[in-house]
Amino acid sequence: MTQENKQIRMAQALSERAHDLLISLNFAQKQIGYIHTFDISYGENIAQRTMLEVEIAAAAKRQESSTTHHKYIAKASKHLHSVIEEAIAKQLHDLDTIYHEVVGIQDSVPAIFDILAVRSASVGRLEPLVNDLSWLGRELVSLVNLPQYRKKNSKASK
């Protein structure tokens, strides 16, 4: 058997082993013939001693204080969430702040969308609005002036 055949067989075996391990460890162990013979048995449960009244009272007091603590945390969490929800709702009602500060939409963007929505859109109508937007002005003009977007007339094609 050549070295290349050994490598191919090893790669196939590793691939099958990885596939078996992806299914589960027990499945992979069964595939290679592993027999699990060591089971731990801790025997029967040891009977618990009966607690004294003082211990029972102390456990009840710990349980009560734990419950009180969890109720306090739940109440504080509920109050905090309500305050946050009110603040978010208050900010969402101010649409101008959302448009200008959060999203960063300038006033000319809706007008640009309106022009682009009609078939008679032209660069002449868009250019004044786009020039107000520094992030869009030069890129749009250079894109429109690319050869594939230029209007072809019948004289140039002859």
> What pLDDT is attached to residue 1?
67
Does some domain include residue 40?
no
Match 């004044």 to its residue by tokens: 128
Gap between the Cα atoms of 152 and 158, Å rounded: 11
C-alpha distances in Å from residue 18, one per residue of 4, 23, 79, 104, 117: 21, 9, 50, 50, 55
> What pLDDT is attached to residue 86?
93
* Other C-beta atoms lying within 10 Å of the C-beta of residue 130: 22
Q: Which residues form the domain of 138?
A: 105-151
> What pLDDT is attached to residue 157?
54
- 29: Cβ contacts below 8 Å, ≥ 6 apart: 36
Does some domain include residue 10?
no
Does some domain include residue 145?
yes
C-alpha distances in Å from residue 122, one per residue of 86, 98, 118, 127, 149: 45, 30, 10, 9, 12
Does some domain include residue 123?
yes
Q: What is the pLDDT along the chain (158 residues), one digit of tens a residue?
A: 688 889 999 999 888 888 888 888 888 888 888 876 666 666 677 777 788 888 888 988 888 888 888 889 989 999 999 999 999 899 888 888 887 787 777 778 888 888 888 888 887 887 788 777 777 767 766 777 888 777 776 665 54
Please state the domain count of the chain.
Answer: 1
Gap between the Cα atoms of 137 and 130, Å rounded: 5
Does some domain include residue 126?
yes
Does some domain include residue 118?
yes
Does some domain include residue 124?
yes
Match 């072809």 to its residue by tokens: 152
Which residue type sits at 158? K
pTM here?
Answer: 0.37
